[in-house]
Amino acid sequence: MPNRERATCKACSRHKSVCGPISWAGYCGICGPLIYNANSDQLHEGDGPFYEHWNNRTLLAAHRRRLAYTKGT
């Protein structure tokens, strides 16, 4: 579903009249799948900034669960 308020893509800065509708995430039909595939590849390979962010947030969530568990006992 396109976002009717957004006029330019966050990644390539092209106007919606040039690249087509802009998604709610802010990307055009070309940049959105490219970014999605790049992030999926990083998760699969276990390397890159998207993977590092995912890994850090996962470790933080696990740490918070352990702290909550130890405080409850």
Does residue 31 form part of some domain?
yes
Number of domains in the chain: 1
Please, how many CA atoms are within 13 Å of residue 53, restricted to the half-sphere of its CB?
6
Please, how many CA atoms are within 13 Å of residue 41, restricted to the half-sphere of its CB?
6
Does residue 29 form part of some domain?
yes
Instruction: Evaluate if pTM is beyond 0.85.
Output: no
If you average pLDDT over residues 3-28, what whole number do you get?
A: 92
Using CB atoms within 10 Å of the CB of residue 28, give its burial: 0 to 12 exposed, 13 to 18 middle, 19+ buried: buried
pLDDT the model gives residue 17: 93
Does residue 3 form part of some domain?
no
Does residue 4 form part of some domain?
no
Q: Which domain holds residue 39?
A: 16-72
Does residue 5 form part of some domain?
no
pLDDT the model gives residue 68: 85
Does residue 9 form part of some domain?
no
Q: Kindly report the average pLDDT of the chain as a whole number.
A: 92
pLDDT the model gives residue 21: 93
Does residue 11 form part of some domain?
no
